[in-house]
Amino acid sequence: MKILVTGGAGFIGSQIVDRYLAAGHEVVIVDNFESGRRENVPAKVRCYAISINDNELAEVIKKEKPDLVNHHAAQIDVRKSVEDPATDATINIVGSLNLLECCRRSGVKKVIFASSGGAIYGEQDYYPADEKHRMEPRSPYGITKLTVEKYLQSYHWTHGLSFVALRYANVYGPRQNALGEAGVIAIFTNKLLKGESPIINGDGEQTRDYVFVDDVVACNLEALKPEVRGIINVGSGIETSVNQIAQELIRLTGAKVSPQRGPGKSGEQKRSCLKPGVLQKGTPTVLATGLAKTVEWFKQR
C-alpha cells in the first residue's frame, strides 16, 4: 500500500512512518518542519517540505497517488490555541479541509486522522470515557479536532471517503519535543536532566491519561485494515496527576531538585482519562516502563 503521512517528521508521525516501512508499505511524507525534525525522515522516503495549507499539496497528492493518507500535521498546543484561536483554526480546520479536498479529487480511499479524546470530551461525566461520552471541548484546539471529525463524516457520507479518527489520550515517549510546544513528560525530563526544576502549573493534581507512543503506533498499523472505520479511543484507562509524573521522573533521572509552582493555565481541564479502544491489543504499556524508556532516550541525546 502507498501511504502519505502528514506531519511524518514529527514525534508521533515519524514513528508511524517507521512502522509502516517495516510492514512493507511505501511511504511519502508531507511536513513543513515547524516542529518536525529532518533526522526523523528515513533516507529512502520522499519528503515534501510543505504545509497542509499550501496550494502545492494538491500537486503532491496528484503526483504520488497514495491509497491512504495518515493525517498527523497539526497545531497541537492547547495553550497556543487559547491565545491565538484563529491561527489554530487556520491550520487544524482549513488545512485539514484542504487535505480532504485533495484526497477527494485524487481518489484517496481512506484517511486516518489523529484526533484527541481528552480535548474533545472536556470535563468528563464518568471515567474512563468511552467513544459514546458526550463531546464538550473547552479549548479551541479541542473544537478544531471535533470539527475535523465532523468533516470526515461528511466526506464519508457525501463522497464515500473511508476514515478512522483515533482519539488520543496524552501521548508521550521518545522523539517528543522538549522545548515547550506540548508534552509535560518531555518538558520535565529535559529540565531534570539539565539539573533544572520543572514548573508545575496550579496545584499539580490535574490528571491525564498518558499513553506510550508505541501503543499509538500499533493502533495506526491496525487502522490500515479496510474493515477498521469510525471513531476509536487510544488511551491507557489510568489517571495520573502531574505531581506523580514529576516525582517519578525525578526518581528516574536522579535529579537533585524539587518542582516549582506556577499559576494555573486557562483552557486546561482538571481530569481526563480514556477507555482503551478496540484497536489496542493486550494491556497498554505500564507508565513506569514507558517513562523509563523515554528518560533513556533523552539521556542518549
Count of beta carbons in the 10 Å neighbourhood of residue 254: 9
Other residues' Cβ atoms within 10 Å of the Cβ of residue 162 = 18
Residues with Cβ within 8 Å of 156's Cβ and at least 6 positions away in sequence, in order, are 162, 163
Give me the DSSP letters along 114-170.
EEEHHHHH-S-SSSSB-TTS-----SHHHHHHHHHHHHHHHHHHHH--EEEEEEE-E
Instruction: Return the amino acid letter for 189.
Output: T
What does the block give as the cell for 245?
Answer: 509524573
In Å, what is the CA distance from 285 to each residue of 181, 238, 292? 24, 11, 11
Per DSSP bridges, beta strands 162-168 and 110-116 are parallel
Separation CA 16–CA 31 (nearest Å): 14
Among the listed residues 141, 155, 172, 210, the single catalytic one is: 141
Segment holding 260, helix H or strand E? strand 260-262
Per the annotation, the verdict on 141 as an active-site residue is: yes
Measure the CA–CA gap between 20 and 42, rounded to whole angstroms: 12
Q: 46 in helix, strand or coil?
A: strand
Kindly state the cell numbers that stand for 62.
Answer: 496528484
User: What are the grid coordinates assigned to 288, written together?
Assistant: 513506569
Q: What is residue 195's DSSP assignment?
A: T
What is the C-alpha separation between 153 and 64, in angstroms, rounded? 25
Contact criterion met (CB below 8 Å) for 122 and 138: yes
Active site residues: 141
